[in-house]
Amino acid sequence: MSMHSREFMMTRKLYIIYSCKEKQSHTERKSQLAYESLFCINQKESVGVEDKKGEAMEGGSSNNTALGPKLSELKVLQKEHEEKSSKIQELKRQIESTKHRLEKKKDVTGDKMGGFNALSKKYNILREEYNAILAEKQGDQSNFTT
């Protein structure tokens, strides 16, 4: 099956779906359009042309009045999708920058803890030396008094 005939068949199926779905509720039509847009997003300009060719081949009358609003709904849905996609990308970027800031804070906190531990060790050593010197001094004083 050639590429042209595949496109024609797909376009024809979309036309049949559109004509059969006239009585669907608005939300059902929106979801159907979104589903169908996955298959024809790159061919949305050619859908109207292919429909005309298909109808001319079958000898049918042109029914582009029903297709026009649906294409505009499709464009609206595509625009909403693009806006949501860009919002998602922005949120992902914000998440990554927040993760990066938290990693930096973690590193700084680790450095501070390392400094605190070093100072605590030094304090303990100096305190032990002081207590030893103080005990020695008190021992010397007790020797002088006796």
Domain ranges of the chain: 3-110
On whether the pTM is more than 0.75, the answer is no
The DSSP 8-state label assigned to residue 24 in this structure reads: S
Q: What is the pLDDT along the chain (146 residues), one digit of tens a residue?
A: 565 666 666 666 666 666 655 545 555 666 666 666 655 554 544 445 445 444 444 444 455 566 777 888 899 999 999 999 999 999 999 999 999 999 888 887 777 888 899 999 999 999 999 999 999 888 877 776 65
Give the burial class of 15: count Cβ atoms within 10 A of its Cβ; 0-12 exposed, 13-18 middle, 19 or more buried: buried
Q: Which of 16, 21, 17, 67 is nearest to 44 (CA)?
A: 67
* Separation of alpha carbons 82 and 77, rounded Å: 9
Task: Work out the number of other CB atoms within 10 angstroms of the CB of residue 41.
Answer: 11
